[in-house]
Amino acid sequence: MKRVIKEIYPYVIILAVVVLIRTFIATPVKVDGTSMYPTLKGNEFLILNKLGHPKRFSIVVVDEKEDDLIKRVIGLPNETIEIKNSVIYINGKKLEDKYGSGETSGYDKIKLKSDEYFVLGDNRENSRDSRVIGPVKEKELKGTTNFILFPFNKIGKIDK
């Protein structure tokens, strides 16, 4: 019996480490749909950093009721966001947005709370984001991502 326990002990340790890493540090996440196109495409797998702190333009995973959403952080806590004529304004100043493609539909001025973020998909004409679901609470953010794991020909840091 001791011999069997001694033989399986390393596998138990490995399994425990994998479970801890996936639960608290990093886990794979799959891109579903075209809301982050052209930056990300459907069926790509990313590594989600659960310890990452979102900054402006970080790619985040939002825990939405029906499913997880992969979006880009545009507005940070306590900022005022407004979208007019496809231009995003942060605290009244035009945001230089190099990530968005397509027309960005308007959004009335809103002041984010101290625990809220405003997120948009890069494919602005085909994205369910803060323009639809409203600001995202910090507790709804599962983490940040900037690394493609699959397909293997794209493995590495996200370009955009």
Catalytic position from the list 35, 58, 127, 130: 35
Q: What is the pLDDT of residues 69-108, one digit of tens each?
A: 999 999 999 999 999 999 999 999 999 989 998 888 889 9
**E strand residue ranges, the chain:** 26-30, 45-49, 59-63, 68-75, 80-84, 87-90, 93-94, 107-111, 116-120, 136-137, 141-150, 156-157
Reported as a single tens digit per residue, the pLDDT across 13-50 is 888 887 777 777 788 899 999 999 999 999 999 999 99
Residues 92, 94, 98, 102: is their CA dihedral positive or negative?
A: positive
Query: 86 an active-site residue?
Result: no
pTM of the model: 0.87
Catalytic residue among 2, 65, 71, 101: 71
pLDDT value at residue 154: 85
Domains of the chain plus CATH, in order, are: 27-157 (2.10.109.10)
